[in-house]
A and B are shown apart, each in its own frame.
Chain A
Amino acid sequence: MQVRSGIPVSPGVVVGPTLVLGSENFRIPRKFVSRDVVESEMVRFHNALDKVCQDIEDHEILVGEQLGSQYAAIFSAHLQMARDPRMVGQVEDAIRNQSNSPEYAVSRTLRKFAEQMQNLGNQYLAERALDIFDLEKRLLRELLGESREELSNLTEPVVILAHDLTPGETAMLNTDYVLGFATEVGGHTSHTAILAGALEIPAVVGLGRCLAGVSGGETVILDGDHGQVVIDPDEATMERFRTSQARNIRVSERLATLETLESETLDGQRVQIFGNIEFPQEVEQCVKRGADGVGLYRTEFLYLGGNKEPTESDHYEAYKQVLSTCGDRPVVIRTLDIGADKVPARIRDRFAESQNPMLGLRSIRLSLQSTPLFKVQLRAILRAAVHGNVRIMFPLVSSLLEFRQAKMILMDVMEDLEDENIEFARDIPIGMMVEVPSAVMLIEEFAREVDFFSIGTNDLIQYTLACDRSDPSVANLYRSGDPSILRMIQAVLKAGEQYGKPVTVCGQMSSDPRFVPLLLGLGLRQISATPHSIPRLKEVVRNISIPEAERIATHACSLDLARDVEHYLLGELGRLCPDLVV
């Protein structure tokens, strides 16, 4: 049994066989073979081994002729590795005595050697582990031949363990078969993490190196609530999993009944809950769960994947789909927020090699520097707006000038549409994301110019605490409950109230039920969260009164450590809604 901890990015707990994705995405189709084919499987292994050795010998001769014998020597070492009696013996033993498939036996044996080598604490030998991985790949390629399976060809449920998944790969995951995934790298706010939430499958990222010893096919428990991955769980662990799974199902079934009920506090205060969406089809999840609209429609998916820049009509069709499904409920469309971790390959050359991409050309800055790109999107939004209740939101605004410039470009686009006699909606509320500390410092000035605010906690926390959560060495500094963050939210809510401008909190903080009493107590009346968390948030709203929330907020704001704040809020949640404490 191997237990690894990472960052939970999408809730839920699943169990299933692992599918390990290295850079080559080999998939071990099965772990065991039946006893009666052991001999033929053994022959298959030796044939593959012979073929691989032959290839290495051919290389050795070729390289010797072309480059000289000193280079060829490396291949003779590789050949010795492939013929290593100890390795071959272990593989044979796994096939013969444990009925392992040759693929599984090869992968497991070689990965064990590689893992041991990486753990010796000797840099040179750690790098030799790569030679072993290479040998593993060669053998698997022989064994699997043409039957090497791709992610898109899954036929059975699996839990994916990968070094990394690109946003494109994540978006393509077939959720009929992919139960969940975990990656060695990545942080809480990476695009891959956000996509996992959108796909509504449990996910954990930032596990650190752990795949060396895993060959695929092992049973794994993936706990997206706590960020834990248990490979080869023992019976006691499995039993705990079954118990908590049964409870989770019970709770979800009960929460599902809240979908049609009002989101109202015990003392009758209405609290609007919106959904954050990424893909147009997710809007159905929002409506089904009784959302009051879409509080954050991320439009980046249009730019990711695909080989061409989205056209105005690509934008328009996507927006129209969302708006028609939402009816008269508001939809907040956030303009292009790419850059940093979300740069599509196609336009990567616009991003000069930056030492510090999070502080570089991204989001509204990119839009303001690439006006034609920005205008295409704005035209589409304005045109689509006739089909529903649209609000436009600019991301990452860090100065008043940026907001004014963005608004000016929007006015330009309106004039163009007017001149061209194209139908569009005029009186669209224009708001901004509050996710840079400078915007909080100038919140009153902004409040005079915007129609609404939405606090993007992910970036706000990262910029305020100067901490990159995808960097495991400082990830523990990223805390939603940090008193500095609480004060920032408080300041924005106060300015919103004073100037009569609505404030929403989006970002992962608002999807976490623990923070709901605090946010309500600080005066928040609009929450925007991932669709699947809506019933949980509603459960909190329906079990608290405003005076009680205010009491909780006052106490939370008197604490001076993030740890104490989060601990206190968890305790309060347990008291209000014991079912939600997982």
Chain B
Amino acid sequence: MSDEPVRRQVTLANPNGLHLSPISALVKEAMNHEAELLISFDGNIANAKSTMELMLLGATCGAVLSVEATGVDAEVAAEAAVRLLSEP
């Protein structure tokens, strides 16, 4: 069951887009999970544990992001990511 990736979609609510502080929160969260957590936007994929990759997504407010988690705690990890990204 853990092999099947958990997929979610979320609209980025932060008015400043995916900038340093939401990225920082997301990376911290991702580090607490064993699951591999990928965020993709506009054809680019970022590992949620990589600050640089997340920055390079260049996602602005209102962007629709795909969240994909694989691993033992995939479900929890994906939910946490969605929660953080939908925080204004």
- Considering the complex, which residues of chain B in the window 27-52 have a beta carbon less than 8 Å from any beta carbon of chain A? 27-28, 47, 49-52
Do A113 and B20 touch (CB < 8 A)? Answer: no
Q: Is the CB of B60 within 8 A of A122?
A: yes
Hey, which chain B residues are within 8 Å of A113, CB to CB? 52, 56
Chain B residues with CB under 8 Å of A74's CB are 20
Residue on B nearest A74 in the bound complex, by CB: B20
Q: How far is the CB of B16 from chain A (nearest CB, A)?
A: 7
A211 contacts chain B at the CB level, 8 A cutoff: no
Residue pair B55, A125 in contact (C-beta under 8 Å) = yes
Measured in the bound complex, the distance between the Cα atoms of B53 and A77 in whole Å is 13
Let me know if B23 is at the binding interface, CB within 8 A.
yes
Given the known A-B contacts A76-B24, A80-B51, are A116 and B56 also in contact in the complex, defined by CB atoms under 8 Å?
yes
> B60's closest neighbor in chain A, by CB?
A122
* B56 pairs with A117, CB closer than 8 A: yes
Report which of A80, A120, A122, A128 forms a contact with B27, defined as CB distance below 8 A.
A80
Chain B contact-residue range equals: 10 to 19
Using A117-B55, A117-B56, A122-B60 as known contacts, say yes or no to A77 and B50 having CB atoms under 8 A apart: no
Query: How distant is the Cα of A502 from the Cα of B71 in the complex, in angstroms?
Result: 87
A76 to B25, CA, bound (A): 10
Contacting residue for A128 out of B28, B55, B60, CB 8 A: B55
B55 to chain A, nearest CB (A): 6
Neighbouring A residues of B23 by C-beta, 8 Å: 77, 80
- Residues of B1-32 whose CB lies within 8 A of A: 16-17, 19-21, 23-24, 27-28
The docked-state distance in angstroms from the alpha carbon of A196 to that of B22 is 48
B51 touches A77 (CB 8 A): yes
**Which B residue sits closest to A135, measured CB to CB?**
B52
Interchain pairs with CB closer than 8 A, number: 54
Q: Is B58 an interface residue (CB 8 A)?
A: yes
What chain B residues lie within 8 Å of A124 (beta carbons)? 16-17, 19
Name A85's contact: one of B16, B47, B55, B58 (CB within 8 Å).
B47
Interface centre among B16, B47, B53, B55 (most CB of A within 10 A): B55
In the complex, what distance in Å separates the CA atom of A120 from the CA atom of B56?
8
Indicate if A230 sits at the interface (CB-CB under 8 A).
no
Cβ-defined partner of A86 (8 Å) among B16, B17, B53, B60: B53
Q: CA–CA, A448 to B56, complex, Å?
A: 68
Q: Chain B's nearest CB lies how many Å from the CB of A112?
A: 10
- In the bound assembly, the distance between CA atoms of A429 and B46 in angstroms comes to 74
Classify chain A's interface size: 20 to 34
Please report which residues of chain A, range 100-117, place their CB below 8 angstroms from some CB of chain B when the two chains form the complex. Answer: 113, 116-117
Q: Which residue of A lies closest to B16 (CB)?
A: A124
Q: Using known A-B contacts A122-B60, A128-B55, determine if residue A85 contacts B20 with beta carbons closer than 8 Å.
A: no
**Residue numbers in A under 8 Å from B27 (CB-CB):** 80
Residues of B with C-beta under 8 A to A84 = 49-53
Q: Name the one of A76, A81, A125 contacting B58, with C-beta atoms under 8 angstroms.
A: A125
Q: How far, in angstroms, from A73 to B19 measured CA to CA in the complex?
A: 13
B24 touches A120 (CB 8 A): no
CB <8 Å contact, A87 and B50: yes
Nearest B residue to A124, CB-CB: B19
Do A85 and B50 touch across chains, with their CB atoms under 8 A apart? yes
Contact B17 A73 (CB under 8 A): no
List, in ascending order, chain B residues with CB within 8 A of A132's CB. 52
| Bound Cα distance from A84 to B48, whole angstroms | 10
B73 to chain A, nearest CB (A): 18
List A residues 246-266 near B (Cβ within 8 Å): none
Partner of A77, one of B20, B47, B56, B58: B20
Residue contact A120 to B58, C-beta cutoff 8 Å: yes
Q: Which residues of A from 68 to 97 have beta carbons under 8 Å from B?
A: 73-74, 76-77, 80-81, 84-87
Q: List 21 A-B contacts (CB under 8 A).
A: A80-B27, A84-B49, A84-B50, A84-B51, A85-B47, A86-B49, A86-B52, A86-B53, A113-B52, A116-B56, A120-B58, A121-B58, A122-B17, A122-B58, A122-B60, A124-B19, A125-B19, A125-B55, A125-B56, A128-B19, A128-B20
- Other than A84-B50, A113-B56, A122-B58, give 17 A-B pairs with Cβ distance below 8 A: A73-B21, A73-B24, A76-B24, A77-B20, A77-B23, A80-B28, A80-B51, A84-B51, A85-B47, A86-B52, A87-B52, A113-B52, A117-B56, A120-B56, A121-B58, A125-B56, A128-B19
- B residues with a Cβ closer than 8 A to A are 16-17, 19-21, 23-24, 27-28, 47, 49-53, 55-56, 58, 60
- List the 9 shortest-distance A-B pairs measured between CB atoms, nearest first: A86-B50, A77-B24, A120-B58, A80-B51, A77-B20, A81-B51, A80-B27, A113-B52, A84-B50
